[in-house]
Structure 1
Amino acid sequence: MLRYVVYTRVSTEDQGKSGLGLEAQDRDIEIFLDKFSDVPFEVIGRFQDVQSGGDNGRPELEKALSLVRKTGAELLVAKLDRLSRRVSFIAALMDDKKVKLRVACMPNADKFSLHIYAALAEQERTFISERTKAALRMAKERGVKLGGMRDATMKRNAAVQAKADTEAAKVMKLIAPMKEGGSSLSNIARTLDVMGIATSRGGKWTAMQVSRVIERSRV
C-alpha cells in the first residue's frame, strides 16, 4: 500500500495560532489524495512547523523525514515553498535516496521539474527584494516621506507589484512559445493547468488570465 507522511508549515507564530495558511495547505493535500494519488494509500503521519521557510532547523520536519526514511513512505507537502525556500536544501533532500517527495499542487512533477521550480522561485524572491528596494529609493528621491504606516504600505504595494511582474515574466517563458505556435488562449490555459502551474492566486488558468499575463509582460 502507498503511504504518505504529510508536512505543513506556516511562517509565524500568529499564523500557527490562527490557522491562517493551514486551511489552504490541507485543502491542496486533500485534493491531491482524492484526485491524483494512486490507490490504495494511507497517511501514516502528519507534522507541522511554525517557522520561517528560510530556517532549515525545523524539528517537526526532521520527525517527518525520519519517519519517511524508516518506513519508505512519501513526503507530501502542499507547495514546494512549504518545505523550504532554499533551493540548496531542496536539492539536497531530493538527492537523498531514502526520501521521495510529492508536491500536491504539482502532482505530475518529477525531481528535475521540482529542482527547476525551486531555483526559479529562489531567483524570483531575490528579484522581488531588489525591486522593492529600488522602488523605495525612487520614492524617496521624489520626496515621498517614508515612515510608519505609509512606509509599510509602500513596501507591501511595491512587493505585490514586483511579485506580479516577476510571475508574469516567468510564466511568459512558457506562454510565448505556445502563442507563437498558434495555440489559442484557452488551449494555453489548459496546458498550464495540465503542467501543474497555478496562477498567482493558486487557482486554475482561464483565457482571460493568460491574456492579462501577456499584456503585463508588454508593460
Structure 2
Amino acid sequence: MDVVAYYRVSTKSQGDSGLGLEAQQEYVQRAAKQNNWNIIGEFTDVVSGKLAIEGRPEGSKALAMCKEHGAQLVVAKLDRLSRSVLHIAQLMELIDFKVATMPQAQTFELHLYAALAQQEREFISSRTRETLAALKSKADAGDAESIQKVKNRSDAQAKGRAVADITTANNIRMANVSTYQTTLEPHLKACLYNKVKTLQSVADCLNAKGLRTARGSEFTPTAVRRLMIALNVSF
C-alpha cells in the first residue's frame, strides 16, 4: 500500500508535545516496514494543531499527493493531524489515513480515540482554570507563596506569547512562500517543456524570464531543486 507521511511540530524546537520530528519519522518508518507500506512522499509542517490539515501549507500538499496517487495518509500519532474531533471527522470524509502507533485501528476506533483525547484535554483545562483561580484568590489575600507563583506564571506566559508570535510569523511566511511558489509552477513547467535537463539550465531559463525566488534572488541549481520538490515536479 502506498502512503504519504505527514509530520507536524508546533515550533522550531520540536513543539510542546514532546514528540519531535525525528521521533515521528521513526514511528512512521517502523510502521511502514512492519505493515509493508510504501512511503511515496513526506511532508512536514511547523504549525499549531488548532489549524485543520487542509489549511496548512505542507498538509494541503500531502492531501493532494494522496488523492493523485490513491495513497493513504500516515501520521505518527493522531494529534499530529489535529487536536479537534471535528477536524478529524471532516478529514475522514476526505481521505483514508493511518496512525503509525496504532496501524490496525479502523475509522470508528480513530474517531473514538480523538473524542476521548479531546474530553481529557477539556477536563485538564477546566481543572487548570480552577487551580489558577484558587491561587489568585490566595495571592489577593496576601499569601506570599501564592503571589510568587502568580508572578512566575505571568513571566512564563509572557515568554510563551513571544514564542507564539514568532511561530505565527513563521507560519505566515511559509504560507506566503508556498503561494509564491505556486505562481511559478507554469513557468517552471514551460522551461521543462523546452527539454532542459539540468538544474542549471532550468535556473537559466527562469532567470531569463525575469523571475526570482521568494527571497528576491536569482535562481541557482539549489533554488531550482527546492522549487521542484515543493511543487512535486521532476524532469
Q: TM-score range by the shorter chain?
A: 0.5 to 0.7
Specify the alignment match of 1:34 in structure 2: 33
Asked if 2 retains the 8 angstrom alpha-carbon contact of 1:13 and 1:51, the reply is no
Q: What does 1:174-185 correspond to in 2, within 5 Å?
A: none
| Deviation of 1:68 (Å) | 0.5
Residue aligning to 1:59: 57
Structure 1 CA distance, aligned partners of 2:82 and 2:153? 31
Aligned to 1:93: 91
> Which of 145, 148, 152 lines up with 1:149 in the alignment?
152
Deviation at 1:138, TM superposition (A): 1.5
For 2:128, the equivalent position in structure 1 comes to: 132
Task: Give, in angstroms, the shift of residue 129 of structure 1.
Answer: 1.1
Tell me which amino acid in the other structure corresponds to 2:132: L
Question: Post-superposition shift, 1:12?
Answer: 1.6
- 1:150 Cα offset (Å): 5.0
Once the two structures are superposed, residues 97-153 of structure 1 have per-residue CA deviations (whole angstroms, 9 ceiling, x without a partner) of: xx2100001111100000011111112111111111111112223331143435567
Are the aligned partners of 1:5 and 1:68 in contact in 2 as well (CA < 8 Å)? yes
SS state at 1:46 partner: strand
> Any residues of structure 2 matched to 1:20-31 within 5 Å, and which?
21-31=20-30
1-side partners of 2:103 and 2:63: how far apart? 20
Q: Root-mean-square deviation (CA), in Å?
A: 2.3
Aligned-partner Cα distance in 1 for 2:155–2:118: 23
* Aligned-partner SS, 1:13: coil
What SS is found at the alignment partner of 2:14?
A: helix
Q: Which runs of 4+ in 1 moved over 3 A?
A: 150-153
Q: 1:28-61: per-residue Cα shift (whole Å, max 9, x none)?
A: 11221222x1x3x421100000000001220101
State the AA in 2 paired with 1:108. Q
Amino acid in the other structure paired with 1:62: S
SS in 1 for 2:83: coil
Percent identity, aligned pairs only? 48
Match for 2:69: what amino acid? T
Whose radius of gyration is greater, 1 or 2? 2
What SS is found at the alignment partner of 1:15?
coil
Q: Distance in 2 between matches of 1:10 and 1:79?
A: 12
Structure 1 residues 87 and 20: alpha-carbon distance in aligned structure 2, compared to 1, 3 A threshold = closer
Structure 1 residue 106 and structure 2 residue 120: aligned? no
> What is the correspondence of 1:164-179 to structure 2 with a 5 Å cutoff?
none
Please list every run of 5 or more consecutive structure 2 residues that lacks an aligned counterpart in the other structure: 157-235
1:83 maps to which residue? 81
- 2:88 and 2:111 in contact (8 A); partners too: yes
Q: Is the 8 A contact 2:10 2:48 kept in 1?
A: yes
Larger deviation, residues 43-52 vs 128-137: 128-137
In structure 2, distance between residues paired with 1:84 and 1:21: 16
Q: Residue 32 of structure 2 contacts residue 38 of structure 2 at CA under 8 Å; is this kept in 1?
A: no
Please state if 1:123 is matched with 2:123. Answer: no
Task: Tell me the matched-pair count.
Answer: 146
